Amino acid sequence: MIIWIGLAGMLGAVLRYRLGRWISGSLGTAFPWGTWGINISGSLLLGLLYGWHQSASISDGIWVIWGTGFCGAYTTFSTFGYETLGLLGQERYSRAVLYVISSVLLGVASAFAGVWLAA
């Protein structure tokens, strides 16, 4: 099982890196769109997985592999914190506040939406 969690984590980390670079290249870096989009989509996916697991649509193993391995590596709280500090250091206070509030609210809302969609 640990090998599958590691492989899913590797896939999540690589996808996060590639997708984050693509989003930042497309939308620019004045706002951390890459991490923002990845964390929101990862919250939605984790909500879906949780909902499926609670309804016994997926096994414990699939839940752990994809929820812990993939989603754990795909989403990133450390980069969220780093980018928030970067915005504050650049004195972009309104962007930093928008980033924090929208990340938390939309992340939780996306997780709820995932659970609802899985039902």
- Known binding positions: 72, 75
Taking the C-alpha atoms of residue 66 and residue 1, their distance in angstroms, rounded to an integer, is 11
How far is residue 49 CA from its own chain's centroid?
13
Asked if residue 52 lies in contact with residue 58, where contact means CB atoms within 8 angstroms, the answer is yes
Closest CA to 11 of 92, 81, 66: 66
Helix locations, the chain, DSSP H: 2-27, 33-54, 60-62, 71-74, 77-89, 93-118
Binding region for Na(+):
72, 75
